[in-house]
Amino acid sequence: MSSGTSDHQRRRDMVMTGIGDGVALFASAPETIRTHDSEHPYRQNTDFYYLTGFDEPQSVLILAPSHPEIRSCLFVRRKDKQQEIWNGQRLGLKEAKRLSGVDAAYPIEELDQRIDSFLETGDLLYYAFDADKSLNDQVVARLMRYRRSRARSGRGPRGVLDPGPLVHELRLRKSPADVVGMKRAVDVSAEGHLAAMRYARPGMREYEIEAIVEYVFTSRGAQSPAYPSIVASGANLTTIHYSTNRERVPNGSLVLVDAGAEVDYYCGDLTRTFPISGTFSPEQRAIYEIVLASNLKAIETCKPGKTFNADVNDAAARVLVDGLLHLGLLAGSAQEHLEKETHKRFTIHRIGHWLGMDTHDVGSYRVNGDWRPLEPGMVVTIEPGLYIPAEPDIDERFRGIAVRIEDDVLITPSGHDVLSARLAKSIPDVEEVIAQGRASGSALFA
Ligand code: MG
Ligand code: MG
């Protein structure tokens, strides 16, 4: 459940240094209804988990660096035999305190009576208002009361700040323990993709391939996909966030699989595109080679000091535009297309995003208005794509072809480490994995 008390303690200490005279309140994720009276599987708020390692709902973490005795405390659900028979074990106060290493743990029912003693130690309150409504309302009511009483009492925070930037700057730079977690999530994700290449067969529906990928995720220890898996073929290939996954894969189509496993709160995010026939057609190959060259160029550019959204993004875009010009899908000057972003008709999105305990991970992409340089410990996705619309002015041979190739890359002091390096990517390697899967003759569920 947790990567160890010392990690969480260290993270809380850093946040407390950041808030200085303030006080911070972090809430667990609300439980959410899926339909009628059944709930979505519970997933802890990532900041809360990052600071506690505690994954139960109805919990609150308070950090009060100016408190004389209790600088950190958790409010959690008490143990309850009846409830636990229905809904699973609760850790209870003692275990929650031990697991997270906070100074004190109290029953959540006592939050109301105890919260003032912590809030009043702070000049400013750090709170994200991302809890359920009742806690948000409780915080607002308290702030209103302090506003009325402060003239006489001199107590209570004078304002509220988002704790996000403090915590998210920490989360952006992965610790050695984070890197171990990331590697595991990316490994499991890669296994799922390899299985898709091996076991997808002509005539399958997209959801059958989705099931193969997610079967492997779960059987390797993932709690969940990190985001809705995309298995797109045929006319769906050019829909970036297609996740309906209901169609039969047309003969000769590419299959674009964008899927990642979430393992112990770390997310993988990988995309591979492969031919259901087992062999890329000349046109599919032409598009694929451009995207692959762009992916490799972007990865080569990843190193400390380079900016992700300028240096890396622009290097990759340049390769895509040159390729489109070469194929005659664009005409004119590369420079002009890059400046006016007229290539967006085919490239749609930028090069990637931060990756971590959230798929689109937290952390600012800019510092003082400028794109920020990469630093060791950051993890990014590198995911160039080309999406050729099936429109009348487009060379018929290329209509509807789409390719995205997405890797997960750790920035290291000397450059980068491609966490997904083991996942087949070149055309010969992808065709080889498919061929081996078909030669073995077996289906995954035979
Ligand atoms: Mg993706
Ligand atoms: Mg991505």
pLDDT band at 445 (very low <50, low <70, confident <90, very high): low
Q: Is 95 a catalytic residue?
A: no
3 state SS of 40: coil
Residue 379 CA to residue 260 CA, distance in Å, equals 15
Q: What is the pLDDT of residue 444?
A: 73
> With 70 as the cut, is the pLDDT of residue 168 above it?
yes
pLDDT band at 344 (very low <50, low <70, confident <90, very high): very high
Of all residues in the chain, the percent with pLDDT exceeding 70 is 98
322 CA distance to ligand 2 middle (Å): 23
Q: Is 241 a catalytic residue?
A: yes
Per DSSP, the chain holds a count of helices (H) and strands (E) of 14, 21
Q: Is 360 a catalytic residue?
A: yes
User: Which listed residue (7, 47, 262, 269) is catalytic?
Assistant: 269
Mean pLDDT of 283-294: 98
Measured from the alpha carbon of residue 404, the closest ligand is 1
Q: What is the pLDDT of residue 3?
A: 46
Residue pair 79/66 in contact (Cβ under 8 Å)? The answer is no
What rounded mean pLDDT belongs to the chain? 96
Q: Is 269 a catalytic residue?
A: yes
381 CA distance to ligand 1 middle (Å): 8
Mean pLDDT of 51-72: 97
Q: What is the pLDDT of residue 250?
A: 98
Residue pair 140/127 in contact (Cβ under 8 Å)? The answer is no
Q: What is the pLDDT of residue 2?
A: 45
User: Which listed residue (171, 198, 404, 416) is catalytic?
Assistant: 404
Q: Is 8 a catalytic residue?
A: no
Q: What is the pLDDT of residue 4?
A: 53
Of all residues in the chain, the percent with pLDDT exceeding 90 is 96
Instruction: Give the tens place of pLDDT for each residue, 86-117.
Output: 989 999 999 999 999 999 999 999 999 999 99
Pairing of strands 366-367, 270-275: unpaired
Residue pair 67/102 in contact (Cβ under 8 Å)? The answer is no
Mean pLDDT of 69-73: 98
Pairing of strands 254-259, 104-107: unpaired
Residue pair 233/256 in contact (Cβ under 8 Å)? The answer is yes
Q: Is 168 a catalytic residue?
A: no
pTM score of the predicted model: 0.96
pLDDT band at 155 (very low <50, low <70, confident <90, very high): very high
Residue type, 407: D
> With 80 as the cut, is the pLDDT of residue 446 above it?
no
Select from 102, 57, 63 the least CA-distant residue to 83. Answer: 57
User: Which listed residue (34, 37, 69, 396) is catalytic?
Assistant: 37
Q: Is 205 a catalytic residue?
A: no
229 CA distance to ligand 1 middle (Å): 9
Residue pair 280/432 in contact (Cβ under 8 Å)? The answer is no
Tokens standing for residue 174: 């992965």
Instruction: Give the tens place of pLDDT for each residue, 196-255.
Output: 999 999 999 999 999 999 999 999 999 999 999 999 999 999 999 999 999 999 999 999
Residue pair 143/157 in contact (Cβ under 8 Å)? The answer is yes
Question: Quick one: DSSP state of residue 250?
Answer: P
Which domains, and CATH codes, for the chain?
5-170 (3.40.350.10), 173-440 (3.90.230.10)
405 CA distance to ligand 1 middle (Å): 9
Residue pair 250/233 in contact (Cβ under 8 Å)? The answer is yes
Residue 440 CA to residue 434 CA, distance in Å, equals 10
Q: Is 383 a catalytic residue?
A: yes
